[in-house]
Amino acid sequence: MAYSILALLTCFLVLVTVLPLWRHEAWWVRGLDFPRLQFIIFAILLLASDGMLLNFSDYDTWALTGTAAICFVYHGGWILPYTRLYPTEVKWARPKNRANKISILTANVLTPNRNTDALIGLVENYKPDVLVTLETDAWWQEKLAVLESNYTYSIKCPQDNLYGMHVYSKLPLEDSAIQYLVEPDVPSIHSLVVLPSGIKVRMHFLHPAPPSPTENPESTERDAELLVVAKSVANEAIPIIVTGDLNDVAWSETTRLFRKISGLLDPRVGRGMFNTFHANYPFARWPLDHLFHSDHFTLCKIKRLPYFGSDHFPVFVELAYDAFHGADQEGIEADTEDHEWAEEKLEAKAVDESDVHEPGK
């Protein structure tokens, strides 16, 4: 009886491990990219149960245990870069002039959440140079107006469909644009941010719709928005930052493809997962809120901030512009197959890198 139950559970583990290898974009396939940490825990529990309940003098027991172990190693390979066991991708910043630093607080507020005081308190405590809010509607815009005495530059796109977006900045914003790159009701914001030193940073703020039974049945729209921005920033000489709720986990094939095509770096690699969603369910959390940057920057600080009533935790990142120190930082590189796969995804939604506003050009 114990063997039958464990065999059934092992078959389930194999299924959820193998299905994401199929590059089908249906939400129920791509959703399996998310809980790899949970699958690792499940595999550990299976291995422990095998050890306690099965007879290892039988070949079938070794086959069952070996299968669970292979699944454990496979999922672990995806998660490992987001642990401290892995080398860091982004260097720690050297002590430099404050004029070359930029701090960003990214917060998906959850539109029905009314705890504005908690978010405003976090802003007052951490004092980011740039605040980007997601899911903000006209009500949130009105409540956040109190910040505008300090955040004198802003780009506002209030919406009632959970895809509103606002950027508040202490630093000057130039050549800004709100775009609807893939879907007519899902905006993105693109702007130059001018550091106190005069360095201009090209920033892209994104919040593509996720693949889900209540949103898009496939990941096509999300993937196309991420990759069209990735292509637009690839091989650019200007400092670049891309941030937002990407509705994808750091370790998915799509996010890896974004990193390969864009050439941008992930400051979480070698430092931790910084899981931001779901704030109310500790057993089901993933890193959905991201910040990627060019090798012009090194890392001063990265921190997941406290709960403020949303289903997401905010993230605070401080970077230092130090092109010389960061020049030898390397991310992951794209090969021919990666470029072909990215083109397929863009062609599926008929979008091109020329559609993306490129501030400063």
Give the DSSP letter string of 295-329. TTEEEEEEEEPPP-SSSB--EEEEEEE-HHHHTT-
> Are residues 88 and 74 in contact, defined by beta-carbon separation less than 8 angstroms?
no
| Whether the predicted pLDDT of 51 surpasses 90 | no
Q: Angle at CA 151, nearest 5°, toward 147 and 154?
A: 105
297-304 and 315-321 beta bridge pairing: antiparallel
The Cα–Cα gap between 255 and 225 comes to 12
Q: Domain coordinates of the chain in residue numbers?
A: 2-82, 98-355
CA distances from 240 to 202, 211, 229 (A): 5, 27, 11
130-134 and 101-108 beta bridge pairing: parallel
DSSP string, 59-79: HHHHHHHHHHHHHHHHHHHHH
Q: Per-residue pLDDT tens for 108-155?
A: 999 999 999 999 999 999 999 999 999 999 999 999 999 999 999 999
Q: In which band, very low, low, confident or very high, does the pLDDT at 95 lie, cut at 50, 70 and 90?
A: confident
153-157, strands of its sheet edge to edge: 153-157, 165-169, 130-134, 101-108, 315-321, 297-304
| Whether the predicted pLDDT of 105 surpasses 80 | yes
Please identify, in words, the CATH class of the domain defined by 98-355: alpha beta
The Cα–Cα gap between 283 and 35 comes to 10
Rounded percentage of the chain residues whose pLDDT exceeds 90: 89
Instruction: Check residue 18 and give its pLDDT.
Output: 94
> Are residues 37 and 249 in contact, defined by beta-carbon separation less than 8 angstroms?
no
For 16, counting Cβ atoms within 10 Å of its Cβ (0-12 exposed, 13-18 middle, 19+ buried), the class is middle
Q: Per-residue pLDDT tens for 329-357?
A: 999 999 999 999 999 999 999 999 999 99
Residues paired with residue 27 on neighbouring β-strands, in sequence order: none
Instruction: Check residue 345 and give its pLDDT.
Output: 95
DSSP string, 151-195: --EEEEE--SSS--EEEEESS-EEEEEEE-SSSTT--EEEEEEE-
Average pLDDT, the chain: 95
| Whether the predicted pLDDT of 1 surpasses 80 | no
For 241, counting Cβ atoms within 10 Å of its Cβ (0-12 exposed, 13-18 middle, 19+ buried), the class is buried
Q: Per-residue pLDDT tens for 203-221?
A: 999 999 999 998 899 999 9
The closest of 268, 271, 265 to 84, measured between CA atoms, is: 271
HSE-up of residue 33 (Cα within 13 Å, Cβ side): 27
Which residue matches tokens 């914003």?
173
**E strands within 207-340?**
240-245, 289-293, 297-304, 315-321
The Cα–Cα gap between 311 and 183 comes to 24
> Are residues 207 and 179 in contact, defined by beta-carbon separation less than 8 angstroms?
no
Q: Per-residue pLDDT tens for 193-203?
A: 999 999 999 99
DSSP string, 116-159: HHHHHHHHHHH--SEEEEES--HHHHHHGGGGGGT--EEEEE--
> For 83-93, what is the mean pLDDT?
96
165-169 and 130-134 beta bridge pairing: antiparallel
Instruction: Check residue 54 and give its pLDDT.
Output: 79
- Where residue 268 falls (left for φ over 0; alpha for ψ -120 to 50; beta otherwise) is alpha
| Whether the predicted pLDDT of 258 surpasses 80 | yes
What's the pTM value of the predicted model, to 2 decimals? Answer: 0.95
Tokens of 118: 């908690």
Tokens of 216: 């898009």
